[in-house]
A and B are shown apart, each in its own frame.
Chain A
Amino acid sequence: MATATNGNIITEDLPVLTRKDFVTDQEVRWCPGCGDYSILAQMQKMLPELRVPKENLVFISGIGCSSRFPYYVETYGFHSIHGRALTLATGLKASRPELKVFVITGDGDGLSIGGNHLLHAMRRNIDLTVVLFNNRIYGLTKGQFSPTSEMGKITKSSPYGTTEIPLNPIRIALAAGATFVARSLDRDTKHLEETLYKAAQHKGVSFVEVYQNCNIFNDGAFAAFAEKDVRADRMIYLEDGKPLRFGKDGQHGIRLNGFQPEVVENAAADDASILVHNVNQENTILANILVSMDYPDFPVPIGVFRDVDHPTFDDLLQKQVDDAMAKGKGDLGELLRSGETWEVG
């Protein structure tokens, strides 16, 4: 078991785990057809590949449909309160850096009530994997608009249409300095599993936005570009080191015109003006250009936007402790007696 002193957990003879090992006996309570099922399945498929003993895995969530997730994953789990999952995860990871901690949140939980914590977890680069299920609606409370709902959306709480501009979660993560930023899609199971795996392997904070269909309150929110038959033309898969090409045969590309991206239809195979994706850049200019691309003017990018190495908050904090201890462990008796003292006979 874990020692109380933050010692590393020994991963002796780790048995080979399978997806089944990560399934709990709890009945899954999401609506039939909900995109959450796919995210759960890809996560359960991916977890064995991490080769981490399951007692060292922790899933922490807030409140919302997505936040029921921990009940269904056979690891340690904490279903916390609205918007605060990241705060618990931060305290856990800061004090127990040897654990692998996932945060499951949604667009309401993570961007509205918990927006502040998202900014700070990203900028601290604490080693957490944050998966934000974006369904552009409040599902659990039965259908109010969320911070990612499109302007003018008619919902129960906006019968005249919303009058607010939505947030783009990827842009927020980039702006706050997240070191790994990616987007995936509930229906593209292969891409989703791969993206979750990459995120989990990243050392530092990783942020994954998953476009997730809420078939009850916001069905088809992403259908215009994410349906299988149109996806190739309306979405673009970001691949590190590869030209930004899309279309069934990769025939279209993206290039820059000044600071503006533009679509090059039927670009030649050797068209050197097509942008080449690079996830390892310190500056986020390219990533921000890509994040500005949205349907219908552009194909919607999915994949990894950014993947850079920075020191993590939890490591730096642990190092301060280790360094201080190495110089000499504090002596309580001495500390109490420090400063001005006097004797009374």
Chain B
Amino acid sequence: MTTESPVRTPRPVEELDRVTIRFAGDSGDGMQLTGTQFTKTTAVFGNDLATLPDYPAEIRAPTGSLPGVSGFQISFASTDIRTPGDQPDVLVAMNPAALRTNINDLRQGGLLIVDEDEFNAANLKKAGYPLNPLEDGGLARYQVVRVQITRQNELALEGLPLNTAQKFKSRNFYALGLVLWLYGRSMDTTIKWANDRFKRMPDQLEANVRALKAGYNFGETSELFHSRYEVAPAEVAPGTYRHISGNEATALGFLAASELAGLPLFYASYPITPASDVLHELSKLRNFGVKTFQAEDEIAAIGAAIGAAYGGQMSLTGTSGPGLALKSEALNLAVMTELPLVVIDVQRAGPSTGMPTKTEQSDLLQAMFGRNGDSPVIIVAPATPSECFTMAIEAFRLALKYMVPVIYLSDGYLGNGSEPWRIPDIGELPRISWSYAGPVEGEFNPYQRDPVTLARPWAVPGQKGLTHRIGGIEKSGQTGDISYDPRNHHTMTLARMERVARSVADIPALEVQGPSEGDLLVLGWGGTYGAIASAAEKARKAGKSVASAHLRYLNPFPGNLEQVLRSYKRVLIPELNTGQLSLLIRGKFVIDAVPFNKISGQPFKIAEVEGKIDEVLGLTGPYELSFGGAAVLGGG
């Protein structure tokens, strides 16, 4: 195979609105890289898009095994889209294990591209296939395209001073080239990236670029594909765009908060999936005055963050569910000492270790109640990967104004998922105002509250005349001294609650998409936004009276929430947990909200929410989630 293609067969071009592709292979096959490169190219092309990486839990599962399969899904469209797609239209399977764990998700009639060279006896056995699925007719529901990716890649790399194993590593570029051709995408973005990435490895660079071009040209010259596809650019607001993942947006958002407030950022964290990326990102930013601290454990991380908050810094700690559990006692110390602190929880499937690489929304009640005593905190939750940026700023705006810890609930789906993001002008971001305590006459009382916000003064070491003692033990609201006075504890507890309740004045009203009253409101929070908003929109297009609303503020709730809830005959609350927001809504408003719960480690599909909407509207019988074959295999 050469990069020159003598024969060029013109192929009909089919226009599509939206396409969903899943790249799946062994975790050593570079599928995340392939997916990311395709995503970048697609973003530069101007499609709206959303992605969902799906990593195996094991870092080094045996090659070719089912647990070792790594996937990356991207959905792109000529219109506004909010999810990485329910069902792939295209599946690229680099080996039998990848086929086996993903094939049940491919839509009927979808395109299946396989590396047929990898369907050998050993790999078939590892994937648990008694017979070669490419031969036994079991794939008749799909358009199967068998490509000798391994062999063709090796041919393309002939003459390079690389051994077979090294050459094998370029297969993903071959596959990428092929898919780029299929959707009429240019190779420029990837070649540019490769030039930079492999600057110091000229042989690898040459190999990858050759493989990429070989794959592309193979699409062009072979007769395997009946047509090419085109997805026109989407209409989006003017501006400068980039591609951003939720965890990147989280890190940048907290940095922006620090810049907007003019307070140095201190980030203390302990490595934990899927939150570690935030630590990686912030660790690079010393030139912004950011100090990061990788602590010896989760408790030390929040302890250090409390120390820095006490020292007057913009202080942040980050973790996932199990880490939040470890941090809870110290978080309570921040509640008691009324220090501004933000805790990031990139939620993952629990309980206990659960499924670290899979998403879930099951820490809401832990965030609300997972501490001893009556211990209120503010809770915010971004709804999309790019919104992780704005909600990070919100978290600190509230923490500093109300002198209260804020929990920021992201999740694995948001953190690892990505989308195009219109880069904001710094000038359009909100300012964050804060102040240290002013000078006082006589004894300083650390609990002298602001009459409006009930925030206590932030007196930091180094301030003259304000030496004082705080701690986890109850203090007198009058003097700041230790107090066991019954009335004092009663009023201090209420003041801590009331302070959080009053922050509602600084929280925007809940917005509704769709009719302002009607048959059904679908209410969600966090990373389920895409599926919920899309499902409700589809229902409206079908003439149903369905609105949707998404909570970014979980404690306190927006001031208009009750009025919104009471404007619809029914309220449906889809969540990736067993009904945690439902419990809060039912408990607080005594409204018979209908929970819809999925706890599979996977996000909602639009069709699932649609199915449940129809059930609640009485249009169909009871709706049941179906997990297909993937769940049986423990993969997906």
Contact = CB atoms under 8 A, between A and B. Distances in A.
Interface of A: 1-2, 4-6, 9, 24, 26, 53-58, 60, 70-71, 74-81, 84, 86-96, 98-99, 116-117, 119-120, 317, 320-321, 323-325, 327-330, 332-333, 335-337, 339-345
A337 B308 contact: no
Contacts of B296: 116-117, 119-120
B482 A344 contact: no
A96 B285 contact: no
Interface in B448-477: 460-473
A332 B423 CA distance: 11
A90 B425 CA distance: 36
Nearest to A54: B467
Nearest to A99: B461
B288 A77 contact: no
Contacts of A6: 264, 289
B163 interface: no
A38 B473 CA distance: 24
14 contacts: A1-B436, A79-B471, A86-B300, A88-B303, A88-B306, A91-B268, A92-B461, A94-B308, A96-B308, A329-B289, A335-B255, A336-B242, A339-B242, A340-B189
B155 interface: no
Main secondary structure of the interface of B (DSSP, over half): mixed
Which bracket fits the contact residues of B? 35 or more
Contacts of B293: 90-91, 94, 317
Given A1-B462, A81-B330, A99-B461, A74 B467 contact: yes
Given A336-B256, A342-B242, 19 more contacts: A1-B462, A55-B461, A80-B306, A80-B472, A81-B330, A86-B300, A88-B306, A90-B295, A93-B307, A94-B293, A96-B312, A99-B461, A119-B296, A120-B295, A120-B296, A336-B424, A342-B46, A344-B241, A344-B422
A132 B126 CA distance: 58
Contacts of A93: 307
A98 B43 contact: no
Given A81-B330, A343-B241, A116 B310 contact: no
Contacts of A325: 286-287, 289
B315 interface: yes
A90 B317 CA distance: 14
B406 interface: no
Contacts of B230: none
B286 A56 contact: no
A77 B470 contact: yes
Interface string B405-436: 00000000000000000111110000000001
Contacts of B618: none
B470 to A, nearest CB: 6
B489 interface: no
B268 A336 contact: no
A337 B239 CA distance: 11
A215 B423 CA distance: 66
Nearest to B469: A77
B311 A342 contact: no
B263 interface: yes
Contacts of A340: 40, 43-44, 189, 193, 242-243
Which residue of A9, A79, A86, A339 has the most chain B CB atoms within 10 A of its CB atom? A79
Contacts of A321: 286, 289-291
A96 B468 CA distance: 18
A84 B330 contact: yes
B467 A91 contact: no
B242 A92 contact: no
Contacts of A5: 264, 289
Contacts of B255: 332, 335
B469 A336 contact: no
A337 B469 contact: no
B333 interface: yes
Contact of B333 (A81, A323, A342): A81
Contacts of B313: 4, 95-96
Nearest to B40: A340
A317 B286 CA distance: 9
A79 B301 CA distance: 18
B128 interface: no
B289 to A, nearest CB: 6
A95 B471 contact: no
Contacts of A1: 436, 460, 462-464
B299 interface: yes
Nearest to A29: B482
A56 B462 contact: yes
B287 A328 contact: yes
A289 to B, nearest CB: 29
B19 interface: no
Contacts of A345: 238
Contacts of B307: 60, 78, 87-95
Contacts of A335: 252, 255, 285, 288
B481 interface: yes
A243 B504 CA distance: 70
B532 to A, nearest CB: 26
B236 interface: yes
A26 B482 CA distance: 9
B266 interface: yes
